[in-house]
Amino acid sequence: MTAQRSMKVEQLSGGEMLIRALHDEGVEMIYGYPGGAVLHIYDAIFNQDKVEHILVRHEQAATHAADGYARATGKPGVVLVTSGPGATNAVTGIATAFMDSIPMIVISGQVDSSLIGSDGFQETDMVGISRPIVKHSFMVQNPEDIPMVVKKAFHIATTGRPGPVVIDIPKDVTDPNKKFKYHYPESVKLRSYSVPGKGHTGQIKKAVEILLAAKRPVIYTGGGVVQGNGSELLRELARKLDFPVTNTLMGLGAYPATDRQFLGMLGMHGTYEANMAMHFSDVVLGIGVRFDDRVTNAVSKFCPGAKILHVDIDPASISKTVPADVPIVGSVTCVLEEMLELIKLSETRVDKKSIDLWWSQIDGWREKDSLKVTPADNDIIKPQQVIQSLYEITKGEAYVSSDVGQHQMFAAQYYKFDEPRRWINSGGLGTMGFGFPAAMGVQLAFPDAVSVCVTGEGSFQMNLQELATCLQYQLPIKIVCLNNQALGMVKQWQDMQYGGRYSHSTYAESLPDFVKLAEAYGHVGIRIEKLSELNSKLAEAFALKDRLVFIDVMVDPMEHVYPMAIKGGAMKDMYLSKTERT
Amino acid sequence: MRHIISILLENEPGALSRVVGLFSQRNYNIESLTVAPTEDRTLSRLTITTVGDDRKIEQITKHLNKLIDVVKLVDLTEGAHIERELMLIKVKATGAQRDEVKRTADIFRGQIVDVTNTIYSIQLVGTSEKLDGFLAAISGTTVLEVARTGVSGISRGEKVLSV
Ligand SMILES: Cc1ncc(C[n+]2csc(CCOP(=O)(O)OP(=O)(O)O)c2C)c(N)n1
Ligand SMILES: [Mg+2]
């Protein structure tokens, strides 16, 4: 078959080659929005049925949908937008994917080659605008280059530390009247790009020795373990050593949240036990993490007694903020496999007595129960209770996308993810408006799965136009809106640092009726106002398996997210409630 | 400390802007930058001088290496190396100054490459320090214009930067 195909040389236009190359690359679905500069490409889409195109209602949503698809499946998300405003609308989504190292290909139309630089209609320098937020970008000069550019773009986007790649294509390059020989390359070689695989054995040995001698170790893992499909090996390693594990906001699900060895999320809104264990540890094994400021708090006070072992595929992530004692550059699977092998071969055994002692100290911290929820009076719903109920109703098996704010932190703290790629959120850029379109990408990738978007009434209004897309493609997403009638996270900071002066963070009097809004778009809307009806109404919403349901849950507007790191402190310095701190 | 980083870069449109963009984006500073194609037309050679502590320089080189267009790079200041910069300088050369400028240029092995009744244009090659030294030496003279190329450099001995 392959031989036959390569014998028969096809003649295709640039636009046709692009879509054909996507198909040959294994792309099933692209997210986009048409316009002048990409009309030849859209015509090529019309004339085939191999690559499905999903029409969103705003280009930003196309990028987030592709991003959600990529996070849930591990496959690259593909976006198609027109030049000028189409391209600039995609920028927030590209930056979001870049910050979280998500593989994505963004194809943007461009004005005719002859018009570039002339301030032509809908011309914008997309390669220039996107430069700081892409892994790489291409401006296609000739139609014949398209297959190779596509091949390179996917190779770069999906290997090493993944990231978004932009392909900017002038309209004349896709001219349907000019046909060229089509051949999709089998492989690609870039002399300036190599992908780290195996780590340095000497370094890994050193790390293993330190791990086996550790008395108060913590394994701290992030998005890299999810992206690098290292979850299984992480579990094996942690269990073998009986070490405690904590995950970053980006890494949730890499280690099962219901497991005894899991300490919960760490960092700014991490659990008491996770942050205390980090601070008092003697060895930190960081895997696929970047020692982000939202984790470390003041770097100078970070884990004062700990040796830092840092595994990452990106050498630039290592010793960027916190100097590593043992840096290991490599893919998470290669490095963990080698670690496990070395541990097996080693004469030394874990210092069980010390580790048991460490566990009893950790169990002491656990008793603080930093995520305890105190029910309110008067049947008022606490936002945390919504997530707890959601977890029960979905049996912990849903794909949960979130927006940004308090609701995001509550979802991260209270939904116990046991599997990777189930928790989909914009951790690095913190993009409000991400959650809902990301949930569309998840639902399109897995039509039979439960795709939930946990959002706030603020974030949801940043991409609510996608309700129309969901009607068109019959996406039965469940939108759980923790409606606190405010930009809650902003308000929380204003409570804590600005004497409760709510500068432009409240708008209760001008909120839309979300139930009617959902109905206007042909969906179902449900409002929940009392704790006594929370479980039953939420269950009712999830029973509507074939419908998108917007669940508007009125929650206590005064609630804060705790624990919360005390700015400028060490990881052990936290507010535990409005009145208590460490 | 001052570092000289030499880079072999794909000779592609936009490649230079990625390098320069990286410096501004990450708040690194560029003291000087030179760039031209090499004997291999698919490659440009770029020389950047920058200032920073070891940690900063490590980050700079790591991030440069991550750019897909960067084929290879070396921090020349890590080993023995030769660095040169070329300066063209136009000075007022009248009265007693005329002889004085000529004498100073000779001492610094500069060449006068253009002359009028009132003006000398001088070409000088050397390390940046030497060029600074020359400017200090003629500080009594009216300098009309200075054009410096920025530093270019190679390692001493066998060591080469090539693909
Ligand atoms: C696009 C964007 N603009 C502004 C912010 C800053 N910001 C962070 S959280 C937040 C409030 C979000 O409000 P809402 O979605 O209602 O969530 P809540 O905190 O109330 O749960 C804001 C404005 C952001 N993260 N993203
Ligand atoms: Mg809100």
Tens digits of residue pLDDT in A483-504: 999 999 999 999 999 999 999 9
Q: Which helix (H) or strand (E) holds B111?
A: strand B111-115
Q: State whether A128 and B17 contact (CB < 8 Å).
A: yes
Percent of chain A with pLDDT over 70: 99
A85, with CB counted inside 10 A (0-12, 13-18, 19+), is middle
Residue B134 has pLDDT above 70, yes or no: yes
> What is the torsion angle, in degrees rounded to the nearest 10, for the CA atoms of residue A407, residue A408, residue A413 and residue A418?
130
Confidence of residue A7 (pLDDT cuts 50, 70, 90): low
| Nearest chain B alpha carbon to A141 | B13
> Which residue's entry shows tokens 């937020």?
A133
Q: What is the pLDDT of residue A512?
A: 98
B54 touches chain A (CB under 8 A): no
Residue pLDDT, tens place only, A427-437:
999 999 999 99
Q: Are strands A283-287 and A217-221 parallel, antiparallel or unpaired?
A: parallel
* Residue A44 · residue A51 · CB < 8 Å: no
A13's CB contacts (< 8 A; 6+ apart) are A40, A44, A143, A174, A175, A176, A177, A178, A179, A180
How far, in Å, CA of A304 to CA of A280, rounded? 8
Is ipTM strictly over 0.90?
yes
Atom number, ligand 1, closest to the C-alpha of residue A462: 1
What's the whole-number mean pLDDT along residues A287-309?
96
CB of B80 closer than 8 Å to CB of B74:
no
pLDDT surpasses 90 at A2: no
Q: Please judge whether A316 and B63 are an interchain contact, meaning their C-beta atoms are less than 8 angstroms apart.
A: yes
Is beta strand A307-312 parallel, antiparallel or unpaired with respect to A283-287?
A: parallel
φ and ψ of B119, to 5 deg = -135, 140
DSSP string, A179-217: EEEE---S----TT-----SPPHHHHHHHHHHHHH-SSE
Which residues have a Cβ under 8 Å from the Cβ of A41 and sit 6 or more positions away?
A15, A18, A19, A80, A107, A109, A169, A174
What is the average pLDDT score of chain A?
A: 97
Residue nearest to atom 4 of ligand 1 (CA): A432
Residue B73 has pLDDT above 90, yes or no: yes
pTM, to two decimals? 0.96
Q: Which residues of B touch A320 (CB under 8 A)?
A: 59
Q: Is the CB of A458 under 6 A from ligand 1?
A: yes
**CA angle B110-B115-B116, nearest 5°?**
150
Partner A contacted by B56 (CB < 8 A): no
CA A405 to ligand 2 centroid distance, Å:
7
Q: What is the CB neighbour count within 10 angstroms for residue A454? A: 29
A279-310 burial: b if 16+ Cβ within 10 Å, else e = bbbbbbbbbbbbbbebbbbeeeebbeebbbbb
- The CA–CA distances, whole Å, from B71 to A1, A330, B9, B10 equal 38, 20, 6, 7
CA distances from A91 to A162, A442, A500 (A): 17, 21, 34
pLDDT of residue A3: 47
B53 lies within 8 A of chain A by CB: no
pLDDT band at residue B143 under the 50/70/90 scheme: very high
For residue A60, give both structure tokens: 């930003």
Query: pLDDT by residue (tens digit) across A341-396?
Result: 999 999 999 999 999 999 999 999 999 999 999 999 999 999 999 999 999 999 99
Instruction: Report whether pLDDT(B78) > 50.
Output: yes
Alpha carbon A390 to chain centroid, angstroms: 20
- Where do we find the tokens 């390390």? B127
Residue A513 has φ and ψ, to the nearest 5°, of: -85, 100
**Count of CB atoms situated within 10 Å of the CB of A194:** 11
Single-letter amino acid, residue A426: S
The pLDDT score that the predictor gives to residue A1 is: 42
A316 vs B59: CB contact, 8 Å cut-off? yes
Tell me which of B20, B68, B70 to substitute to probe the interface with A (most A C-beta atoms closer than 10 Å): B68
Identify which of A205, A130, A204 has the alpha carbon closest to the alpha carbon of residue A168: A130
**What is the mean predicted confidence (pLDDT) over B31-59?**
95
Q: Does residue A399 have a pLDDT over 90?
A: yes
Q: How far apart are CA A66 and CA A438, in angstroms?
A: 7
